[in-house]
Amino acid sequence: MDSTNNAQYLLQKVRDALNARGPNTIRSLGRVFRQLDSYDGNKKVDRDEFLIGLKENGVTISKQEANALLDYMDTNRDGTLDFNEFLVAIRGQMNATRKAMTDKAFAKFDRDGTGTITPSDLRGVYNASAHPKVLKGQMTEDQVFQEFLQSFADANKDGVITKQEWDEYYDSVSANIDDDEHFVELMKSCWKL
């Protein structure tokens, strides 16, 4: 078994163990994450906390397997897990209903049909003039716009949001929302879909 398949197998083992303990809601997963992070409370789970916390949650796993799994789940490659990385890994990617909404929003922004969203694509759709910090004079429209761009985790900082970056951002957003209907309404209202 290659390392990716092994990590996916281990992740499913963790999911199954956590599901057996009760409902898989944000609240219950938050409790599990806090248990994993119980040693220093820095809102990041390191390798030792991960191994011990998994065992305390009924997951039988070796140190080597735990390290491989943490490496797989650690998408920002900082050697630890934050809550969003944990949620996305445990909950998985968006289901078809949610994915359809994020695809629709991406298509709205990708006005030139290139498969990427550029700052000029966004400027045509995103209007920062009514942002509270602009209205209070704390930020300019351009500063708010740049902050908005950065929220999508533009991995290579080129100002262009790829479909993969868009999907990864919304996998994280989706993992933080329990209900499909709420997610769909959020997307509709946010992007006027």
> What confidence score (pLDDT) does residue 123 get?
74
Contact predicate 39/48, CB 8 Å: yes
Tokens of 59: 């997951």
pLDDT 10s digits, 131-153:
788 889 999 988 888 887 777 76
Which of the residue ranges 26-30, 32-36, 111-115 has the most confident prediction, judged by mean pLDDT? 111-115
The radius of gyration computed from the CA coordinates of the chain, to the nearest angstrom, equals 19
pLDDT 10s digits, 94-111:
899 999 999 999 999 887
* Out of 23-32, 82-91, 135-144, least confident range: 23-32
Distances 35 to 5, 25, 43, 70, 136 between C-alpha atoms, Å: 27, 15, 11, 16, 41
> What confidence score (pLDDT) does residue 52 get?
87
Banded pLDDT at 154 (limits 50, 70, 90): low
Q: Which domains does the chain have, with CATH numbers?
A: 3-91 (1.10.238.10), 96-191 (1.10.238.10)
